[in-house]
Amino acid sequence: MADRLTNPFAFEPGGSALARFHPLAKLGFLLAVTSASMRARPEFVAALFALSLVLSIQIPRAGSGPLRAIALLALFAALVRGMLPGDGRLFDSGTLPESALYAARLFSVYLYSRIFYATTRVSEIGDWFTAAFRAARTVWRRITVVIIPRRANPRNTACSVPSGSASLPVPSILSDPGMLFSIALLFLPRIFDAHRRIREAGEMRGILLSRRNARRSLAMLEHFIVESMMIAYRTSLAMQVRGYSPERGLRLSALKRLDWVLLAASAGLLMLR
């Protein structure tokens, strides 16, 4: 429960109909709906906002932090837009519809993003990310094949015969960027938790960061970096003993009919004016 309150983009397991859509179809829809929300006409934005509210009903409630932040931003934008219009009035109420439209655009983008992350496993996106990278790697290898000499004669370099071929190397860290991405997202809350524990322990021993004691703060930073590296090290060991290899098999599901419908809707949204 705690991480749902602190992380509004946490995955929500359950039988939501949205969770059954293909991750790529949902990602395409998120990009299209974000683009449409930020540029479409007011009536379309109102419709998209209403739809985001309806879809959000399926998702359990998260912490109100981001909503409050967006509300504050929208309020600030409304004040900037309407205050002291220059004709002696304090506030121009005629700017309110435009401000409301701006707020609806921001809330829509937030709600659709939350729906996407709450109904999509990070590993699903990660697997597709890795698949795309591996495909790009194959293409890279094909187009960067260079002729290399099999064995150069140290006495007479003119004798070296070009008889083998190889491609430019691809760093091994790029073999599975999807897992890198998944693990990084999964471990962010743990890193924050480690930071909180170290900060609290420091505070209990009289190290207050607010007092700007650079030397002590650096000591805590050092502790935090070491702790983060230890978390990463223990994680890598655990992955190793559970048989992880960067060339692991990927779980890639096929697009179904409903996914194509969602992609078509996304294409339609991109064409909205």
Partner 1 sequence: MSELFRASALRHRFPDGTFGLNEVNLSIEEGEFVIIAGRNGAGKSLLMRHFVGLSAPTSGKVFYRGASVAERIPLIRKEVGYVFQDTEAQIFGQTVREDLAFGPANLGVKGAELERSIDAALHDAHMDGMADRRPPTLSGGEKRRLAMAGVLAMRPRCIILDEPFANLDFPSIHDILSVLSTLRAEGVTLVVLTHEIEKVMALASRLIILDAGRIAFDALPREAPKSIFTASGLVCPYRECYPWQID
The binder of partner 1 chosen from 88, 169, 206, 243 (CB under 8 A): 243
Site map for partner 1, 13-42, x if CB under 8 A? xx----------------------------
Number of residues that bind partner 1 (CB under 8 A): 31
Distance CA 168, CA 79 (A): 56
Answer yes or no whether residue 253 interacts with partner 1 by CB under 8 A.
Answer: no
151 in contact with partner 1 (CB under 8 A): no
Contacts of 169 (CB under 8 A, 6+ apart): none
* Smaller CB separation from partner 1, 13 or 206: 13
Q: Which of residues 90-119 bind partner 1 (CB under 8 A)?
A: none
When the beta carbons of 206 and 249 are compared against partner 1, the nearer one is: 249
CA 33 to CA 45: how far, in whole Å?
A: 10
Q: Which of 68-76, 148-156, 168-176, 228-236 is the region at the interface with partner 1 (rule: CB under 8 A)?
A: 228-236
Contacts of residue 243, Cβ cutoff 8 Å, sequence gap at least 6: none
Interacting residue ranges for partner 1, rule: CB under 8 A: 1-4, 10-11, 13-14, 121-123, 182-183, 186, 189-190, 231, 234-235, 237-245, 248-249, 251
